[in-house]
Structure 1
Amino acid sequence: MLTPRGDFVAHPHATDDPHQVGPVDHVFLGLKANSYAAAGPMIAPLLHEATSIIAAQNGIPWWYFHGLKGPYEGYRIESVDPAGAVTTALPLDRAVGCVVYAATEIEAPGVVRHLEGTRFSIGEPSGESTERCRSFSQAAVAGGLKCPVERDLRRDIWIKLMGNIAFNPISALARATMAGICRHDGTRELVRAMMAETVEVARRVGCDPGISIERRLRGAEKAGEHKTSTLQDLEKGKPLELDVLLAAVVELADLTGAEIPTLRAIHAVSDLLAENLVRAV
């Protein structure tokens, strides 16, 4: 790991057979969201009756409407949880949300460059403060990370998504870093429009991110010449994690009647890019 906090080498215990590990208190998922549906056989041997599944992902999680009071309580987002496959693999009652505020790049096989951020916010879908959240938070803090337990993690989800929904697809389409997108007048305005439409969808499902677009834009700009995870995946020929970023918000706009012409346009061209990438593999 190459990091401003000091480079180090880690030798974690690793196995490709979860049966060698057995049941644990917490399963921390670092998978891309498009791998969740197939993760059931890998996860099942790790579960006991109270094991939590903490998914560190971008975008809208499969559990988003679980335990959320209101008109959409229990709604399953098809683009995130197709035919309920993710819920089958990752049961809703085990889900603990996690929003990652760390920028990293894979510099070489086994070598990760950490650019900034050590915060991993977690929270229950219900908003409760639970022992499983507190115990995981304590372990993360003991390891040198920030891990606040949030009462309203959905707000964090939308704040993070305001950046991801714009910068990730644009970076892949334009092959540009976050700073490069911000420097270009046209793409900077495009980001503003996409953020504004995203905030409107968030409000229609009952969440106000409570942060100005300019402040969110400045925060993203501080990442500098950072390649988004979507651009990194594109360059490596990997599947693009766009369903939870873009398709989910388009689906929620359809559900709530929000007008999102800019998001729909970027979703169309980035979805075509993702399809062409799959065909080329």
Structure 2
Amino acid sequence: MPTEHGRILVVGGGSLGLYLAGRLSLAGRAVTVTQRAGSAAPEGGIVAEGDEQWQAPAVGFTIADDRRGPYSQIIVAVKSHDLPPLLPTLAALGDATTEYVFLQNGIPWWWRHADGDGTAPALARTVAVVVHHAVERTAPGRIRVRRAGGERYLCGRVSAALADARDTALQTLVTGWQQAGIPAEYADDIRGEVWAKLMGNATLNPLSAITGATIGELATTPATRAVLLAGMGEIARIAAAEGSALPSTPEARVRRAEQVGAVRTSMLQDRLAGRRLETGALLAAPIALAERHGIAVPVLQTLLGCLSVPLHDKDPNVRT
């Protein structure tokens, strides 16, 4: 069976994993979503609400210990802190033609990775995807999709040395996603795109999780807007030291946040739900890079420090 018509495995049943699985299934692809052990398969498959309304009943669901390859695409859509135990297991699920597709925020696992240690898929068959799309998981198998304009799934090889406009396998993947209604695009410089998104993720996400405010509120409130601009400036300086020139300024990025409006970040949703936060990839990793380059990042360090305190309800017996 040709690779482009082969089976697809989506690792992770969160918002983006469900969105991609549903869209690809509706386009006629055989898609399986792997979930944590003990998770039940949602009745009726995947249901999208909001700005997109569709149902994908043919998506298969399985648990982590019951994944049978090989697959033509393995789409990894879990949080960055859930990746370490998964990476060594992925190669056994594919073959020589499998594309390994990663959709994580922040500084990714492959940033300084070198092939040959057997702990991860080969970089030559690894695709990074930087996502600009608001999708929220509202219940098992159900998502709410928001289209505010500018939705993009930017796909690129993880190393500049591997990027090639003649990369037919990557172009086939992008084309297939587009035909499924996913706004995928080829990215010439995926590392630059990682920094461009991190400018927002490393500031808007943590600040929203600390304050409980929406993206629009953070961008339009003078005090929090000032924090965003300062933190984004720190990210821009780290990116420059790493050899990436960002396509937009902090001011332009905050103006885009204004237009998003009353949307809760994924980190705020995770904190309210008591889930583990992606502070490692979004804050600790860029802070470590800043230290390597001798760059001061007081805003990023403050945000990380604030998120180290567990969220709890205020004691009603304490008067303020």
Structure-1-length-normalised TM-score: 0.84
Amino acid at match of 2:298: P
**Alpha-carbon separation, structure 1, partners of 2:122 and 2:285:** 19
Q: Is the 8 A contact 1:2 1:112 kept in 2?
A: yes
Q: Is the 8 A contact 1:105 1:227 kept in 2?
A: no
**Alpha-carbon separation, structure 1, partners of 2:88 and 2:234:** 38
Q: Is the 8 A contact 1:19 1:45 kept in 2?
A: no
Residue 126 of structure 1 and its aligned partner are, at CA, apart by 2.5
| Structure 1 segment 121-200 matched on structure 2, within 5 A | 121-127=154-160, 128-129=163-164, 130-200=167-237
**Alpha-carbon separation, structure 2, partners of 1:187 and 1:246:** 18
Residue 254 of structure 1 and its aligned partner are, at CA, apart by 0.8
SS at match of 2:224: helix
Amino acid at match of 1:170: L
Instruction: Provide the residue aligned with 1:88 in structure 2.
Output: 119
Instruction: Provide the residue aligned with 1:201 in structure 2.
Output: 238
Residue 92 of structure 1 and its aligned partner are, at CA, apart by 3.8
SS at match of 2:95: strand
| Structure 1 segment 245-264 matched on structure 2, within 5 A | 245-264=282-301
Pick which of 25-34 and 11-20 moved more: 11-20
Q: Is the 8 A contact 2:107 2:194 kept in 1?
A: yes
SS at match of 1:49: coil
**Alpha-carbon separation, structure 2, partners of 1:58 and 1:40:** 16
- Unpaired stretches in structure 1, ≥5 consecutive residues: 67-73, 77-84, 277-281
Once superposed, which parts of structure 1, at least 4 consecutive aligned residues long, lie more than 4 Å away? 17-20
Pick which of 29-38 and 260-269 moved more: 260-269
Is 1:50 the counterpart of 2:84? The answer is no
Q: Is the 8 A contact 2:88 2:119 kept in 1?
A: no
Amino acid at match of 1:10: A
Is 1:107 the counterpart of 2:138? The answer is yes
Amino acid at match of 1:187: T
Instruction: Provide the residue aligned with 1:71 in structure 2.
Output: none
2:257 to 220, 226, 229: 220
Per-residue CA shift, 1:114-151, capped at 9, x if unaligned? 11254211101233132221121011011011211111
Per-residue CA shift, 1:13-67, capped at 9, x if unaligned? 222257554111221111111110121476344211232211111111111235x
Instruction: Provide the residue aligned with 2:74 in structure 1.
Output: 27
Residue 154 of structure 1 and its aligned partner are, at CA, apart by 1.1
1:7 to 53, 56, 59: 53
Change (3 A) 1:20 1:214: closer
Q: Is the 8 A contact 1:102 1:119 kept in 2?
A: yes
**Alpha-carbon separation, structure 2, partners of 1:263 and 1:202:** 14
Per-residue CA shift, 1:145-197, capped at 9, x if unaligned? 12111110111111111111001111111111111112221111000000001
Q: Is the 8 A contact 1:36 1:90 kept in 2?
A: no
**Structure with higher helix content:** 1
**Alpha-carbon separation, structure 1, partners of 2:121 and 2:256:** 32
2:108 to 35, 56, 61: 61
Per-residue CA shift, 1:46-102, capped at 9, x if unaligned? 211232211111111111235xxxxxxx6x9xxxxxxxx9x7144544421110010
After superposition, the CA RMSD in angstroms is 2.4
SS at match of 2:136: strand
Structure-2-length-normalised TM-score: 0.74
Pick which of 210-219 and 37-46 moved more: 37-46
**Alpha-carbon separation, structure 2, partners of 1:229 and 1:145:** 20
